[in-house]
Structure formats: C-alpha cells, structure tokens
Amino acid sequence: MSVASLNGRDLLSMADLSADEIDALLELAADMKAGKVAPRCQSVKVLGLLFSKASTRTRVSFSVAMYQLGGQVLDLNASVTQVGRGEPTIDTARVLDRYLDVLAIRTFEQAELETFASYAKIPVINALTDLEHPCQVLADLQTVKEEFGALKGLTLTYIGDGNNMANSLLLGCALTGMNVRIACPSGYEPDRAVVDQAKTIAGEQSEVSILTDPEAAAKDAHVLYTDVWASMGQEEEATDRMKVFQPYQINEHILGMADSKAIVLHCLPAHRGEEITDSVMEGSQSRVWDEAENRMHAQKALLASVLGVGI
C-alpha cells in the first residue's frame, strides 16, 4: 500500500477499512513513530475539527499529527460557529467542503456523521460517535502489535459497557484475525448489527463472543480492555450503572485470569476505582500511556493516507 491508497476516502467505521489497509496504516504509523519516514504536505492542507463532545486526546492528537505533517488545524467548536445555533448539517457540510481538505467530526448520532460525509467531497473522519470510535481502535491495534509483534490469533477481552468502543473493537479485531470477547451485563450488549457484522467478517478465522461472565471472558486473554461505565451523555445514569457494573471491574483478580504476559488497555479518561483499579492501571502490565501516545501516530498515518501525502 502506498501512503495515498486511502486518498479521498472517509473513515466513518472500522468496517470502512480492509485487513490489508489496517496493516498498512499500522506499519506506516510504526515507521513514523520510529522516525523512519516523515511525510510532509507539499502544499498547505487544513484539517477541521468539528466537535460536539468534550475531547482531550482526540483533539490534541489530531492537531499535533496535522501540524507534524506540515498542515494546519481549525477548531470548529460548536459554541462559536453556526452549528451551535442550529444550522442544518447539509448546509454546513457543503460550505466546509469548500474550505477544508479533511474534516474530523465528534458527535452523538452516527447518522449525522454519515449525512455530513454524503454532502462533503473531502475526507470525513469519525472522531467518535455514540456508535463507533475507529481512530481509537487503530491506536489500540498499534499498541497490541508493538507488544506482541503480530495480531492474528491473539485474544482481546473487553470488560464493561457495550458502547462505541466495544463496537469498534469487535470490527477491528475481526478484521485483523484476533479473537474478541465482550463481557457485559445483560441489557448492556454491543450493537446487535455490529456484532453480526463482526461475526461475518471473522468467519472461520477468529472467534467473536458476547459473554456476561467477566472471569470466563478474561481467561487466557492476551489483552484486557475497559472503558468508563457511563459514557458522555449518560451521566444521569451513572449511579444506577455503578450498581450494575461492579462485577465488571478490571482488577488484580481479573488480571490474574488472563495470560501471564497480558497487557491492559483503557481508552481514557479513566474513573479509577470504578472500571479499573489504580493498581492495575499503574501496574507493570498496563500499556495505557503507550496507547494514548499512539493516538497521534495512528491518526497521522490516517491523515497522510486520506490526504495522499507522499513520503
């Protein structure tokens, strides 16, 4: 794959990528991180960040990645644009399409992202919706590959809420030949259509399992993964969710069920003492900070590819 192989493409879902494209993006990200290659924009390219939800890692990592490619960034905060006053998505999309070279959107509904992409010709990237978080999963896969050298045949266990992270991990693991187990309380499972899609992608090459027993899910896993129990927009449910999710904490006991060389990941921000204990997050098997750093490298590779930036 050349750097330009995704030139002009959107990334709305992990399923928008093939297994070979994921491999190539991870290879490029690793080479960038190691300083082996340094793609640069031949002319000034501008990335727009249209975020309706709070962000630390996504906002900063996208910005730094674009600057390192020689481009510029516009922060299109809804509170200071007409988006915050109700301008229709289709109008905003067609206007920004004429100003920007690429746009990353963080919003609630996946449908809004898809509508935006259908009216804009420039590449549109999912920087998080309630359904998926594909850019995070690219960084997750990069982190796992750094640790184990390859992805195929490994088992990743996600313990917690069947949210956007669970959905994108299902697809990302299935595409790369990893076994994926999601352990969550009954009624909090990942999106049914995404589960079916992941199982179809996995076929005979890997296993996709939805479980309610966190211990069974963690057994011999190579990667343990978790996220907050109440995502953005679910704050009013937090108290009730705390009661339901107590057995789904990644702690020393659950870590002991996993493979002896297992690593622990968390997409952050973390609520220490809730979905993950402080001792595990700060322990020798945690790769949380490498994972956070890799957001920048994975997204830089993605930006270079969708913009057709050469080496």
Beta bridge partner(s), residue 265: 225
**Which residue is catalytic, options 267, 287, 297, 299?**
267
Reply yes or no: is the peptide bond before residue 269 cis, omega within 30 of 0. Answer: yes
**Which residue is catalytic, options 106, 241, 266, 297?**
106
CA–CA dist 34, 142 (Å, integer): 13
Q: What are phi and psi of 205, to 5 degrees?
A: -80, -25
**Which residue is catalytic, options 222, 295, 297, 299?**
295
Q: Check if the beta carbon of residue 119 is closer than 8 Å to that of residue 94.
A: yes
CA–CA dist 117, 11 (Å, integer): 9
DSSP tag of 141: H
Concerning whether 57 is annotated as a catalytic residue, the answer is no
Concerning whether 135 is annotated as a catalytic residue, the answer is no
Task: List CB contacts of 282: < 8 A, sequence separation 6 or more.
Answer: none
Q: Check if the beta carbon of residue 136 is closer than 8 Å to that of residue 21.
A: no
What are the CA-CA distances from residue 136 to residues 58, 121, 266 (Å)?
Answer: 8, 24, 10
**Which residue is catalytic, options 10, 130, 140, 227?**
227
Concerning whether 271 is annotated as a catalytic residue, the answer is no
Burial class (CB in 10 A: 0-12, 13-18, 19+), 189: middle
What are the CA-CA distances from residue 9 to residues 204, 263, 308 (Å)?
Answer: 29, 33, 10
Concerning whether 133 is annotated as a catalytic residue, the answer is yes
**Which residue is catalytic, options 57, 130, 136, 241?**
136
DSSP tag of 81: S
Concerning whether 240 is annotated as a catalytic residue, the answer is no
**Which residue is catalytic, options 57, 59, 133, 222?**
133
In one-letter notation, the amino acid at residue 134 is P
Beta bridge partner(s), residue 211: 183
Concerning whether 136 is annotated as a catalytic residue, the answer is yes
Give the three-state DSSP class for 192.
helix
The residues annotated as belonging to the active site are 106, 133, 136, 227, 267, 295
